[in-house]
């Protein structure tokens, strides 16, 4: 598998962890922020699931095999699961931290793909970065 595909597989693993954390938060958010955050976490996990699929398909297009087991994804992921039950503010702060880490990884993968002349991968990743930058800004605003 080429280096870009390997990097995309690591991103795929990170997004799977991010997805599951967002599901956890969607299911377990409580308190006066419930209505807004319940919907926001669903929006974010739906987006994460679409990104997992896009990354897996790009790995395939590059001749690689996408990580397709949870065990393999957890072993490769840089993001970590949240086995606790943070309060709503903690959930948002954790989500923001994940988005910032994902964006750093996306930028690195995009630069690597650009260096390899892989414009298709760059074009795939750039909208992820752009959208997540806006979401991160909104989460920072929410946290004050």
Per-residue pLDDT of the chain (144 residues; tens, 9 = 90+): 699 999 999 999 999 999 999 999 999 999 999 999 999 999 999 999 999 999 999 999 999 999 999 999 999 999 999 998 999 999 999 999 999 999 999 999 999 999 999 999 999 999 999 999 999 999 999 999
Q: How many helices (H) and strands (E) does the chain have?
A: 5, 0
- The packing angle between helices 34-61 and 119-143, to 10°, is 170
- In the chain, beta strands by DSSP E: none
Among 139, 115, 94, 140, residue whose Cα is nearest residue 4? 115
pTM: 0.96
The values of phi and psi at residue 112, to 5°, are -65, -45
Rounded to whole angstroms, the Cα distance separating 3 from 78 reads: 17
Q: Give the per-residue pLDDT at 8.
A: 98
| Cβ neighbours of 13 (radius 10 Å) | 23
Architecture of domain 3-143: Up-down Bundle (1.20)
């Amino acid at each position: 598998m080429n280096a870009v595909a390997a990097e995309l597989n690591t991103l795929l693993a990170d997004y799977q962890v991010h997805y599951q954390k967002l599901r956890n938060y969607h299911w377990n958010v409580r308190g006066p922020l419930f209505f807004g955050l319940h919907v926001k976490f669903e929006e974010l996990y739906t987006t994460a699931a679409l990104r997992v699929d896009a990354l897996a398909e790009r790995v395939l297009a590059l001749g690689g095999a996408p990580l397709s087991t949870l065990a393999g994804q957890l072993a490769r992921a840089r993001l970590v699961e949240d086995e606790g039950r943070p309060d709503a503010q903690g959930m948002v702060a954790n989500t923001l931290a994940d988005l910032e880490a994902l964006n750093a990884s996306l930028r690195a993968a995009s630069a690597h793909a650009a260096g390899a002349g892989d414009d298709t991968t760059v074009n795939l990743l750039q909208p992820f970065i752009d959208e997540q930058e806006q979401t991160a800004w909104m989460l920072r605003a929410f946290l004050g």
